Structure 1
Amino acid sequence: MAQSLESLVLRHTHRLPIPRGSAGDGATAARQFDAALMTAGFKLSAELLERLSGLSEAAVLHTARRTLRTVREMVGDHVRHNSYFIDFPANVPDTEEFWMRCLGKALDDGTARENVLTQLAHGVLNLLSLPTYGRYQHTYEEMLAAQDELIASAGDRVTVLHLGRDLDDEITELYLALAGSTTPLGEDDLPDLKVLAGRCALGPQPESIPVRENRAVVNEARLGVGAELLLDTVTDVLRLACALSGGDVTLREPTRFLALSRPVRRGLLAGLDAVVAANPAKLADVHAYREPFKRLGERLHPHEYPRWPHAAEVFAVARGEKEARSFDSRVEKLLDEFDITGAAKLLKSAPGKLFRALDLLLRIAADQAERDAVVAAAVEVAPKVSGRVLLSVREHFHNRDRETEAPRVFVNRRGRGWVMPDHRPAVPAADRDRLIAALDAETRRRLPAAGRLLIDPDVLDVALPLSGRATAAGLGVLPRGSVSKVDGDRLRFFVYWKETEDGTDYDLSALLLHRDYSTDSWLSYTSLTTVGGRHSGDVTEAPDGASEFIDLSLDRVRSTFIVPQVNIFAGEGFDEVEESFFGFMVRDGEQKGRPFEPRTVRMKSEMRGPGKVALPLVFRRGDDGRWHAKWLHLYLKGISSANRVEENQVSVSKVVRALVEREQLTVRYLIDLMSGGTTAVDLWDGGPVPDEPVTYIGLERPEGLHTDSRIITLENLRDLIPG
């Protein structure tokens, strides 16, 4: 258990809890450990190297084995990445030449010849019926032997691992950070919170747990140890019941409630009773989840517990036996009557709902007096709105200011994206500007005094992580909408997948678009070579795991956009396979090396989402010729099978345009508010850091920061979002 907790801390913080073991001379082993880490693109900090050097060799090797296993998984080096063409990216044939080669070998194969000739007689040939198509023709070891050694480059990625504190302290700090997050966690972070909550339920707790899903996970652990539950709505109890049944605490997917023990049933019913007794109006919340509440009632048997009559009312409302007029219905009635002022007044009692309705209210207001009432109501309740909603609305109105023909893009909680024409009337500029000024002022008021700011310039264009669901789990992954520069001569994409039980074929492709988002060309299994690009070859099944690669020489690409994508041609979905991830590497022209070299990996992200087409990010060449990435983290619906880049190029280009042209609030926005013209702001150039405490904000933590410094990196970027 300690090993898994140590790995969890390392993944989330890039800190290694204080290594334990007997004292000794472990300097040689520590240097060897550091060298092994560097092959995967990691390195020990000077402080951590010194600590390990004072331990025995056995203790260092024990720590090294556990740590190397974790970091290799973080970067995607825990699996074997073979390529169909043994010396990829060299000697990749033209598509037709390759197909004819496969056909020729099939005709020479006595077991396949008759079938192939029959197909040819009918004028159609199934490539998958050719013995040499889609299946590795060499072993992993043979592929390694055919590749030249990677030449080290100063541009290779180096992620520094820092010395942490005692494991218990690191666990507690990470638990408090995740449980108390002001933004929803990603789907991969919730299971980690569950592990931590089980360990920390009786220890220090965050001042508040504003995100409901986090609260459900914490309540599950608290129920298990007999601690007081954190409940203030009936939906909190429903989420807790879902957690206890191993279901979806976000309530997006239906949960099959399991039989619950009597103590658990009593705990849930007592919680429901207390919530409704304190505020009977909470019964109105039942309407949003009537069916789940009805199914939960069948498991809780509230009629057996007459001492909790208010809990029974919850299920009576769900069954339609008791009336509880919902807040939303009252708002809708006022809107139906075109009473905008009345609706704004009522919505003041639900500040979050008011903010989400601001655009609608301003659009349908009949005159300036009604718009003034809406703006006044928003300004009045702004201090009561969560920071996440405050910033989301600020970003929304910023984009409403731009006149563009770009379609409107929608992205649901799981990353499923689609676009629609935007026919909304404009919001009057004066009202929009008043709102934006008020939102900026409220955000500035909530931001802590930063003292001296030390900023990594590369973090300035990172989008604010208003939801963990806008960022996939992985290494070097930025929130949706972030922009990052791309240095290097060659860009290489990779995808890895391993099927669970059904034959599964994922196809890595890249769509190349002109400046106007029209198609230039593409790379895929049907187009193995194009200007500046090579595809590693089609692999059509993955019982033991499979990889595909695309290599691009950026100085030869004539297009403006490069859109890597993963299409499901057949088999299991992204959330059904045993494992699947995407990433990209950057190399200098003469580095050579294996198709997959972990120290050249800039990003590796898990693919766990709906739909049949994954769009991780898009690369854009600027007017100065330099390339930048904009992060998408999107999944498109696609079709049931045989998804191909040729068929989805129109839908992909529409989504890409909508997100490329949308402007996100970035770290730069918050830094401008934090500095306010009075705080010293220094841009870190990679050199020595100040001796005094600073607030450091960057992609990775530099060495040597004062121990009293506040450090914000990708791992805890959500801490920038005010409560």
Structure 2
Amino acid sequence: MAHRLEPLVIRHTHRLPVPLGPEGRGGGAARRFDAALMSVGFKLSASLMEQLSGLAEETVVDTAVRTLDTVREMTGDHVRHNVYFVDFPANVPDTYDFWARCLVDALADDASRQSTLARLSTGVLDLLTLPSYGNYRHTYAEMLAAHDELIAAAGDRMTVLHPGGGADDEVTALYLALAGSTTPLGEDGLRDLGALAGHCADGPQPEAIPVREARAVINLARLGAGADLLLDTVTDVLRLACALSDGDVSLVEPTRFRSLSRPVRRALIAGLDAVVAAAPAKLADVTAHREAFKRLGERLHPHEYPGRPHAADVFAVARGEKEARSFDSHVEELLGRNDVTGAVRLLTAAPGKLFRSLDRLLRVCRTQDERDAVVAAAGQVAPQVSGRVLLSVREHFHNRARETGDRRVFVNGLGRAWVTADTRLPVPAPERERLTAVLDTETRSRLPEPDHLLIDPGILDVALPLSGRATATGLGVLPRGSLSPVDGELLRFFVHWKQTEHRTDYDLSALMLDASYATVSWLSYTALSDVGGAHSGDITDAPDGASEFIDLRLDAVRGTFIVPQVNIYAGEGFEVVEESFFGFMLRDAEQRGRPFEPRTVRMKSELRGPGRVALPLVFLRGSDGRWYAKWLHLYLRGAPHANRVEGNRVSVATLVRGIVERDHLTVRYLTGLMTDRATAVTIWDGASVPAGPVTYIGRERPDGLHPDSLVITPENLRALIPG
């Protein structure tokens, strides 16, 4: 069972559970394993190589087969990436010449000549009706034959795999880390947690499960295993019901509840009854999700359980037959009477709500006494507020000092983004600064005393993962707002998708903007080439999977920003297709190789968000002349069909501006607070590491760290967020 979950351990931790097996002479197999890993940009650490070399060869080979399948999928090398133009990026034709060639081919074909002439007579010609447009004209093998072998370069990515413990121990440790996370997990993280929770239902459990969505997924697994449910609010039961129906446990999107078996109905009714019996005031939580509870009641049949009167009260409140006034309504009543002090006094009973309301409270204050009361209340309850909320509010007020009051960018929990006018009054500077001091002091007090702190400067501009939905599953993916240098001469984006049922056409495009976010040019199926750039060609159907690429010479790019995007022209959405992912590669100018080379992949992320236009990241030219990637993870609603880069230039530029010009709270902020408490601080030079235990914070775990070291990398960066 643990072996089945081994890929999750590798993906989340970059550790390989050391297999159990007889001792032997596995050195040769281990070296072959290492060589195979290097072909896809991975490598065994020295200590892992040593441990594998002491095992029997058969054990090493079995481990290698499983691991190679996992890491190939991590880079996107598990599929065949063909291109429309066989020798891309060379010899990409002019767009209109290419279209004319497709038309000539259609007229020369007896099977398509008459229908093509008929369409031409109307004055309009659909490219999709031309036989040679949109479909591969050569096999994958023929494409490979057209390209030289990849020339190895020192800058090729090399991700090191380190030794872990036994498979069961590693699976348990990963479960505890995900279940006890102080920040919400993304969709894929919740799915992985569900798989782990089922395996670990009878084992150790985290001291606390701070995130409600995680609790729902764990309860689903515990229900299946016959274990006790972990419930303390009626909303926990509602989330579990959503999980049982494969719905949205975050409760953002409505769930269509399925019919439930009698044992499941009995368990949910018992859970509701126990929660309300222990704390009747929790009935007030029903009003926030009244409609969902009404629909759930239709499935649970509470009238069949006369011995559960408290559960019946839940649905009576949902139907409006019983009053249970919410906490928020009391607050709104006080604010409606302009009683800010009274509202603040009430909100101290709900510290998280108070902190989320600070901006609004300070804007409606009419006197200095009221503003003083708000700040004083924040200082009073700060120790009771979660670290994630502290940091989110800290980031918010920092940016409030910089905002011009023009437009606001909103991003919901699913990554869907939109822009509205900013009509808010400013927050008074003195109160903003006093609150910032409160937040810094409280955050500093919660951070660990790291003794010897070893910092990789490459991680300092990585944004703190205050929400798992501000990122995506994949390799080399960083949270929204993170900034990382791009060191290479050739930048190549790629997208791959495989439709589930209907013809699906995704279009990879790149929009170039100047320093004022105005359009300079773009690359897409309507503009196959530009100065220093080329598009691999439009694929319009993907029953067996399809890929598109864009190649750019960074020194030839006109403009300040490069915005890659994936537009859904027709067919299934990102959440419907069997598979879809985006990534980018970096190469030296003289490197050859196939259009897709896993060793050159710097980032590969899943595309599974809402909307019809995906914006994974933006590349920007810094004041030092270097290029940087800033991570977006955004989705635009787009049009139902025929989305094109030309049609969304303005909205894309506005969103990019909102993210680029926002200061996200980064690792630099937390390490700055931690240095005050460290006995020693060392900036890692990429070579030697200290002999003793350290707290290491960096992009990748260095080889040779003391085994008692605490290691924080992007894979477990959420562990840096204080509770």
TM-score in terms of structure 1 length: 0.98
Equivalent in the alignment of 2:716: 716
CA deviations on 1:611-631 (whole Å, 9 max, x unpaired) are 110000000001221000100
Give the secondary structure class of the aligned counterpart of 1:188: helix
CA deviations on 1:143-193 (whole Å, 9 max, x unpaired) are 000001110000000000111101111011001000000000010011111
1:45-124 equivalences under 5 Å are 45-124=45-124
Equivalent in the alignment of 1:692: 692
CA deviations on 1:191-216 (whole Å, 9 max, x unpaired) are 11111111111211111001011111
1:631-650 equivalences under 5 Å are 631-650=631-650
Deviation at 1:345, TM superposition (A): 0.7
Q: Which amino acid aligns with 2:545?
A: G
1:335-346 equivalences under 5 Å are 335-346=335-346
Contact 1:406-1:657 at 8 Å conserved across structures: no
Q: Which amino acid aligns with 2:634?
A: L
Equivalent in the alignment of 1:437: 437
Give the secondary structure class of the aligned counterpart of 1:596: coil
Deviation at 1:559, TM superposition (A): 0.8
Equivalent in the alignment of 1:651: 651
Counting matched residue pairs gives: 723
Contact 2:495-2:549 at 8 Å conserved across structures: yes
Deviation at 1:678, TM superposition (A): 5.1
Name the CA distance, whole Å, in 2 between partners of 1:369 and 1:416. 40
Deviation at 1:494, TM superposition (A): 0.1
Equivalent in the alignment of 1:209: 209
Equivalent in the alignment of 1:199: 199
1:334 and 2:330 aligned: no
Name the CA distance, whole Å, in 2 between partners of 1:394 and 1:353. 15
Deviation at 1:677, TM superposition (A): 6.7
- Relative distance call for 1:258 and 1:138 in structure 2 (3 A) is same
1:508 and 2:528 aligned: no
1:401 and 2:415 aligned: no
Name the CA distance, whole Å, in 2 between partners of 1:679 and 1:648. 52
Give the secondary structure class of the aligned counterpart of 2:555: coil
Give the secondary structure class of the aligned counterpart of 1:555: helix
Equivalent in the alignment of 1:605: 605
Contact 2:617-2:629 at 8 Å conserved across structures: yes
1:265-280 equivalences under 5 Å are 265-280=265-280
CA deviations on 1:401-451 (whole Å, 9 max, x unpaired) are 014366211001110001112121110000000000000000001111111
Equivalent in the alignment of 2:585: 585
CA deviations on 1:231-255 (whole Å, 9 max, x unpaired) are 1111011112222333322122333
Q: Which amino acid aligns with 1:564?
A: P
Q: Which amino acid aligns with 1:163?
A: P
Contact 1:3-1:66 at 8 Å conserved across structures: no
1:230 and 2:230 aligned: yes
Q: Which amino acid aligns with 1:365?
A: C
504-513 vs 195-204, which moves further:
195-204
1:89-488 equivalences under 5 Å are 89-404=89-404, 407-488=407-488
Deviation at 1:303, TM superposition (A): 2.7
430-439 vs 89-98, which moves further:
89-98
Name the CA distance, whole Å, in 1 between partners of 2:463 and 2:699. 12
1:555-594 equivalences under 5 Å are 555-594=555-594
Name the CA distance, whole Å, in 1 between partners of 2:166 and 2:655. 46
Name the CA distance, whole Å, in 2 between partners of 1:285 and 1:463. 33
Contact 1:418-1:636 at 8 Å conserved across structures: yes
Q: Which amino acid aligns with 2:291?
A: E
Equivalent in the alignment of 1:5: 5
CA deviations on 1:526-552 (whole Å, 9 max, x unpaired) are 101111111001111101100000000
277-286 vs 302-311, which moves further:
302-311
Give the secondary structure class of the aligned counterpart of 2:465: coil
103-112 vs 269-278, which moves further:
269-278
Contact 2:618-2:629 at 8 Å conserved across structures: yes
Deviation at 1:688, TM superposition (A): 1.5
Deviation at 1:360, TM superposition (A): 0.7
Q: Which amino acid aligns with 2:642?
A: A
Name the CA distance, whole Å, in 2 between partners of 1:678 and 1:698. 16
Contact 1:407-1:654 at 8 Å conserved across structures: no
Deviation at 1:56, TM superposition (A): 2.2
CA deviations on 1:587-645 (whole Å, 9 max, x unpaired) are 00001110000000000000001111000000000122100010000000111110000
1:672 and 2:672 aligned: yes
Name the CA distance, whole Å, in 2 between partners of 1:272 and 1:638. 40
Contact 1:525-1:538 at 8 Å conserved across structures: yes
Q: Which amino acid aligns with 2:546?
A: A
- Relative distance call for 1:561 and 1:405 in structure 2 (3 A) is farther
Deviation at 1:226, TM superposition (A): 3.9
1:19 and 2:23 aligned: no
Contact 2:388-2:722 at 8 Å conserved across structures: yes
Name the CA distance, whole Å, in 1 between partners of 2:405 and 2:434. 25
1:487-502 equivalences under 5 Å are 487-502=487-502
Contact 2:2-2:168 at 8 Å conserved across structures: no
Deviation at 1:23, TM superposition (A): 2.4
Name the CA distance, whole Å, in 1 between partners of 2:267 and 2:100. 69
Equivalent in the alignment of 1:621: 621
Unpaired segments ≥5 residues, structure 1: none
CA deviations on 1:115-168 (whole Å, 9 max, x unpaired) are 222222332221111111111110000000000111000000000011110111
Name the CA distance, whole Å, in 2 between partners of 1:299 and 1:135. 48
Deviation at 1:61, TM superposition (A): 1.4
684-693 vs 307-316, which moves further:
307-316
Name the CA distance, whole Å, in 1 between partners of 2:128 and 2:262. 56
Contact 1:147-1:594 at 8 Å conserved across structures: yes
The two structures, once aligned, show a CA RMSD in angstroms of: 1.3
Contact 1:536-1:550 at 8 Å conserved across structures: yes
Deviation at 1:20, TM superposition (A): 2.7
Give the secondary structure class of the aligned counterpart of 1:469: helix
TM-score in terms of structure 2 length: 0.98
CA deviations on 1:475-528 (whole Å, 9 max, x unpaired) are 000000000000010100000000011000000000000000000000000101
Contact 2:20-2:166 at 8 Å conserved across structures: no
Q: Which amino acid aligns with 2:577?
A: V
Deviation at 1:260, TM superposition (A): 3.1
Contact 2:2-2:171 at 8 Å conserved across structures: no
Name the CA distance, whole Å, in 1 between partners of 2:264 and 2:122. 66
Name the CA distance, whole Å, in 2 between partners of 1:407 and 1:705. 47
Deviation at 1:221, TM superposition (A): 2.6
Give the secondary structure class of the aligned counterpart of 1:306: coil
Name the CA distance, whole Å, in 2 between partners of 1:20 and 1:231. 38
- Relative distance call for 1:642 and 1:261 in structure 2 (3 A) is closer
